[in-house]
Chains A and B, each alone.
Chain A
Amino acid sequence: MSKKKSNATRRAEQLATHERAAEIRKAHERKERRRRNGFIAAGVVVVLALVLGIGYAVQSSRDTTGQVATPPAGVVDDYAVPRGDPEAPVTVTIYEDFMCPFCGQFEAASRDLLSSYVDAGDVRVEYRVLSFLDRASNGTDYSTRSMNALAVVLDTAGPEVAWEFHDLLFENQPEEGTDGLSDDELVDLAVEAGATRDRVAGPIEQRKFEQWVRNATDAANRAGVSSTPTVMVDGEPLEATTIDALVKELDEAVQAALGG
C-alpha cells in the first residue's frame, strides 16, 4: 500500500527540485556568459593586435634610415669631414651636433690646441656631425639643416671653406631650444666662409643631403655614440665629463699617441 507522503514532505521535495533546476539554469547561464565573454575578449584582442600591427607598419615606413643617400664630395669614410694632413700620425674624431651647447663650449675651448696640432701636421681631425638634437629647435630641425648646410658647403666649395663654415656655425651657435639660425642665415654664413651664394642657397633650402644626414646620425648611434661631444683619439673615446677635463684629456691623449 503506497504510503502517502505528507504534504510537508511533498512541498519540500518540490522546493528542492525547483532549486536544483534553478541552479542548473544558472550554471548554464554562467557557461553561456563565459563563452560570450570569451568571444568578445577575443574580438577585442584581435582588433588591438591589428591596430598594433598597422601602427608598427606606419612607424616603420616613416623611418627612412639606411636608404641610399649621395654623400657630399670630400667626405671620408662616408660620413667624416676631414681636416688636416691625411698622413698625420694621430686621428682625432669629434662627434658633435651644431645644436649641442657642450659641443660649442668644447669647440671654443679646444680650437687653439687642435689648430696647433693640425698645423704642425701631427693631427688629422675627423668631424662626424650628427643631427640627433632636432627636437631641441622648436620643430625647425636645426641640427639637420645646419649639418645639411655643412655638407652643401663641403660639396660645392671644398674642405677649407667647410672648416671655416663649421667654425662659424659654432661661433654663432643658437641657444638650445630656440628655432636656430634660419636657412637664410645659414646661407649668409656659408658665403662669409667663402662659398658661392648661388651654389649653396638652393641645396641648403631644399636640404639636399637630408638622407645622408640621417644615415650619418644612425651610423654614429650604431658606433655606440649616445651623447655629444664624443671625442676619440685614434679610435679610443675620451671619458672626461667636463669641458676643461675633456680638453686636458685630449691634449694628454694626443701627446701620448705622438710619443708612442
Chain B
Amino acid sequence: MQWLGVLARLVVGTVWVAAGALKIPDPTESVRAVRNYRILPEAVVPLVGHSLPVLEVLIGVCLLVGLLVRANAVVSCVLLLAFIAGIASAWARGLSIECGCFGGGAGTLEDYASKYPWEIARDVGLLLASGWLVLRPRSPWALDNRLFPVDD
C-alpha cells in the first residue's frame, strides 16, 4: 500500500515539473495564457502568469523527493481544483482556447473546446492522486522520512 504513495508522488510530481518547466522559458506567453481565460482581474494576471510556473516546478520537485508531502499535496489539490474550474468555465462560456497547461497561450483557429473534457479528466485523475497523498503522505524514498522520523 505504501508504494501507492511513491507512485502517486512520481506521477503528480513529474506532471507538475513538466508543466512548469515548459512554461518558464516564455513568461510573456504564460501571462497571455492566464489572460485568455478571462477570469482573473487584469491587476493579478501578470502576478499569476509569472509565479505559477515556478510554483508548479517547486511542488513537483518537492513531491518527487518527498519533501513536505502533505502540504505540497494540499497545494496541488487546490491548484488542480482551480484549473478544473477554469477549464469548465471556459467550456461553459463557449471560449475556444488552448488550456496553456503545458506552455502555449494561444493557437490557430482550431476546435480547442473539444479537448476540454480530456483536460478535465486528466486533472481529476491528478486530483485523486494528490488527494491520496494528503490522506497518506508517508511513503518510502522520501526526504520526509529522514527529516521527520517516526520511530514509534
Which residues of A are at the interface with B, using a C-beta cutoff of 8 A? Answer: 26, 30, 37, 40-41, 44-45, 48, 51-52, 55-56, 59-60, 62-65, 97, 100-103, 132-135, 176, 214, 217-218, 221-222, 224-229, 241, 246
- State whether A102 and B109 are in contact (beta carbons under 8 Å apart), knowing that A45-B68, A227-B97 are contacts in the complex: yes
Q: Which residue of A lies closest to B57 (CB)?
A: A55
Q: Is the CB of A227 within 8 A of B109?
A: yes
Given contacts A132-B105, A227-B108, 11 further A-B contacts (CB under 8 A): A26-B152, A37-B148, A55-B57, A59-B51, A63-B31, A64-B28, A133-B107, A218-B28, A221-B105, A222-B42, A241-B96
Q: Is the CB of B96 within 8 A of A40?
A: no
Interface status of B1 (Cβ within 8 A of chain A)? no
Which residues of B are at the interface with A, using a C-beta cutoff of 8 A? Answer: 24, 26-32, 35-36, 38, 42, 46-47, 50-51, 53-55, 57-58, 62, 67-68, 71, 95-98, 103-112, 147-148, 152
B108 to chain A, nearest CB (A): 4
Pick from B30, B96, B108: contact of A100, CB under 8 Å: B108
Q: Is the CB of B27 within 8 A of A60?
A: yes
A229 to B108, CA, bound (A): 7
- State whether A59 and B53 are in contact (beta carbons under 8 Å apart), knowing that A132-B32, A135-B29, A218-B32 are contacts in the complex: yes
A60 to B50, CA, bound (A): 6
Contacts of B32 in A (CB 8 A): 132, 217-218, 221
- State whether A41 and B68 are in contact (beta carbons under 8 Å apart), knowing that A48-B62, A63-B50 are contacts in the complex: yes
- State whether A55 and B148 are in contact (beta carbons under 8 Å apart), knowing that A48-B58, A132-B106, A218-B32 are contacts in the complex: no
Pick from B28, B42, B51, B152: contact of A56, CB under 8 Å: B51
A33 to chain B, nearest CB (A): 8
Pick from B50, B68, B103, B106: contact of A221, CB under 8 Å: B106
- State whether A65 and B28 are in contact (beta carbons under 8 Å apart), knowing that A59-B50, A59-B53 are contacts in the complex: yes
A237 to chain B, nearest CB (A): 12
Q: Which residue of B lies closest to A66 (CB)?
A: B46
B45 to chain A, nearest CB (A): 9
30 A/B residue pairs, CB under 8 Å, sorted by A:
A30-B152, A40-B147, A41-B71, A41-B148, A45-B71, A52-B58, A59-B24, A59-B30, A59-B51, A59-B53, A59-B54, A60-B50, A63-B27, A63-B46, A65-B28, A102-B108, A132-B32, A132-B105, A133-B108, A214-B28, A217-B32, A218-B32, A222-B35, A224-B38, A226-B36, A226-B105, A226-B106, A228-B108, A241-B96, A241-B109
A224 to B106, CA, bound (A): 11
A221 to B105, CA, bound (A): 10
Contacts of A40 in B (CB 8 A): 147-148
A7 to B51, CA, bound (A): 72
Contacts of B36 in A (CB 8 A): 221, 226
Q: Is the CB of B109 within 8 A of A229?
A: yes
A52 to B54, CA, bound (A): 6
Q: Is the CB of A63 within 8 A of B35?
A: no
- State whether A227 and B58 are in contact (beta carbons under 8 Å apart), knowing that A59-B24, A63-B46, A65-B31 are contacts in the complex: no
